[in-house]
Structure 1
């Protein structure tokens, strides 16, 4: 540009609206992530006009005007875990549809870190915060976390929790107990009677729910469940096999029946706990092998990444997974379809969980969100001393038991 050439003024939203031949409101909704639908023809005209004029949305000005940015904050426990990356994929897909941008942070399953991240994010004023991480039952930061999230909602933000509703905010629930119970019934139907388990550290809510549900399913099946056809990806609907009510009713009985070694399908002596990771699964499986499996025919891993670690430990011990010792997991992350042998598991619609979480936050989902501790005016029971809500009755998205080669049918119990 020459010294005499005047500086070019940056295009404004008014310029874009005029260029596209639409109203200012339509131009704003097309560019700024509004949840209100815009006619696709108008939206394309606005986007084309913005490109011609080199218009860039002023995110800082939007944040001041709205009290929030066009970002979605997603907190996960471990971004390297395909469970959480699949949920993130669903959140990102839904955010793209709403012209929003997702920022992500990992809590490393550390409640103090999660609380610090929420505090930092409040200062960045995201439009939505989605929390997807299993918390310890005795979380010392729970009250402080609720207070931070409630303050964020009072300032205009939207909070959604994935899986558990113990914090009192809108939730996309996941029936971990019911899914694990359905898996146990299916495995009994395949002929298995003696089980071991590798699971997360005691007190981790998601892991505990799955172990309790699995034990309840074994107690309820009693060896009389109907068989399931063999073959890759044979499936059983978890809701049909084990309803939420049956899961709740039999959970206590299952835990009692399984607590002692004598005559138990899954005695305490055949349970090993470790980190809820692939390496944790490997270490826990090594621990079980070192103790002696006590005749166990099948190992239940409380998530698929632990199952992958368990498969490796079984191989390293000179055994053949599926043939010498069956293995089942939970989640159906993409990896387990390609491991050898392909893993029997409970299919969780992970991407759909992410999509539903964002749609619920934006007020677009009516198919499974649960509002815990919210009053009719939209406020939350967010004070640190408020009562926690009862567990939601809605079981959330349907789960499926997927039977693959890691659990071949047994004609008779192994000796």
Structure 2
């Protein structure tokens, strides 16, 4: 097995400098030097056992959580579950908002490792970005080899413990519901194209289309930012381009609420004249008018499960634990048969 001296030699630094960087010392070093040492750790598969044992001790109480934006209702619910379990175990949660900036996510991994947090939870979606994914996976491997724990929510390329919601099935349930109501011409307000969550939910909708002998053409899919304002803007562009639409499937509830607001501004009555469905079943989904038909994911429970995984003992070379979370259709008042005549 590689030693600290081997790492120092490979990186061209002293063993003391290598040790400070690996152990997350607060003493400043240049970013180039840090990257050189961490690259040597990765190449040599170095595992500092003493530090791993130190990180596993209970006095290291902080858990780092990286989310896209904790003010987003989706992540607020997940964070509620994360914090509940952390509090039960006497742990401090450090929340980091990346605002879907991959560079910020990489920086936060480094900052959290430097602060010697006991674990890192990635609560945001994975990205369709090979360079970013490879870089992130490398940084997380280094962190784990120095004793840290990692758990993720959603579909990521990281080979570790994960809580994986069945977004594909959720999309299928939405599509099947609209087709069963008689909607063959509906639009989709999707999330950012770069996110795996968006891809998976769209894949479910397309599977439902195939099973009902239909197609979901690209012109009926508008990409937005998973928020109310962009949901309304995307709905407007769909309705202007495709005036024959009878329904819109929004791939999260915030965007669905934006769709409802846009329809209301145009004097279109839901569900009498038009149907809208959402995704996630955020608490507000039942309070809007009309109450939103949506797909339920147990968001707080997802957060609780992810924190439970993050607090597990490293356990040597045990296989990763993948917890799959099912999706459930919740019928309310915003969807009905298309208007005839």
| Residue 149 (str. 1) matches residue 140 (str. 2) | yes
> Which residue of the partner structure matches residue 226 of structure 1?
none
| Residue 305 (str. 1) matches residue 254 (str. 2) | yes
Is contact 1:72–1:127 with CA below 8 Å preserved after alignment?
yes
> For the structure 1 residues 152 and 64, does the alpha-carbon distance in structure 2 shift closer, same or farther, using more than 3 Å as the test?
closer
Matches of 1:111 and 1:171 in 2, distance apart?
Answer: 19
> For the structure 1 residues 65 and 332, does the alpha-carbon distance in structure 2 shift closer, same or farther, using more than 3 Å as the test?
closer
| Residue 269 (str. 1) matches residue 219 (str. 2) | yes
5 Å-filtered alignment, 1:9-408, equals: 66=57, 69-222=60-213, 258=215, 266-293=216-243, 295-363=244-312, 377-378=317-318, 396-408=324-336
> For the structure 1 residues 140 and 397, does the alpha-carbon distance in structure 2 shift closer, same or farther, using more than 3 Å as the test?
same
Tell me how far 1:123 sits from its aligned partner: 0.7
User: Secondary structure of the equivalent of 1:358?
Assistant: helix
Identify, as 1 or 2, the structure richer in helix: 2
Q: Matched residue pairs, number?
A: 289
Residue ranges of structure 2 left out of the alignment (5+ in a row): 1-52
Matches of 1:302 and 1:108 in 2, distance apart?
Answer: 19
TM-score, normalised with respect to structure 2 = 0.78
In the TM superposition, structure 1's runs of 4+ consecutive aligned residues that sit over 3 Å from their partners are: 62-68, 412-415
Is contact 1:278–1:305 with CA below 8 Å preserved after alignment?
yes
Matches of 1:311 and 1:361 in 2, distance apart?
Answer: 38
Matches of 1:148 and 1:203 in 2, distance apart?
Answer: 21
Tell me how far 1:290 sits from its aligned partner: 2.2
What per-residue deviation string (whole Å, max 9, x for no partner) do you get for residues 21-62 of structure 1? xxxxxxxxxxxxxxxxxxxxxxxxxxxxxxxxxxxxxxxxx9
Tell me how far 1:188 sits from its aligned partner: 2.0
What per-residue deviation string (whole Å, max 9, x for no partner) do you get for residues 330-365 of structure 1? 10000111011111100000010011011112228x
Is contact 2:228–2:254 with CA below 8 Å preserved after alignment?
yes
Matches of 2:340 and 2:203 in 1, distance apart?
Answer: 25
Matches of 1:346 and 1:275 in 2, distance apart?
Answer: 19
> For the structure 1 residues 64 and 93, does the alpha-carbon distance in structure 2 shift closer, same or farther, using more than 3 Å as the test?
closer
Tell me how far 1:65 sits from its aligned partner: 9.4
Matches of 1:79 and 1:278 in 2, distance apart?
Answer: 15
User: Secondary structure of the equivalent of 1:109?
Assistant: coil
Is contact 2:151–2:160 with CA below 8 Å preserved after alignment?
yes
Matches of 1:397 and 1:116 in 2, distance apart?
Answer: 29
What per-residue deviation string (whole Å, max 9, x for no partner) do you get for residues 287-315 of structure 1? 1122233x221100011111111111111
> For the structure 1 residues 146 and 323, does the alpha-carbon distance in structure 2 shift closer, same or farther, using more than 3 Å as the test?
same
User: Secondary structure of the equivalent of 1:172?
Assistant: strand
> Which residue of the partner structure matches residue 40 of structure 2?
none
TM-score, normalised with respect to structure 1 = 0.65
> For the structure 1 residues 169 and 180, does the alpha-carbon distance in structure 2 shift closer, same or farther, using more than 3 Å as the test?
same
Matches of 2:327 and 2:193 in 1, distance apart?
Answer: 24
What per-residue deviation string (whole Å, max 9, x for no partner) do you get for residues 358-406 of structure 1? 1112228xxxxxxxxx9972498xxxxxxxxxxx9x7712221001100
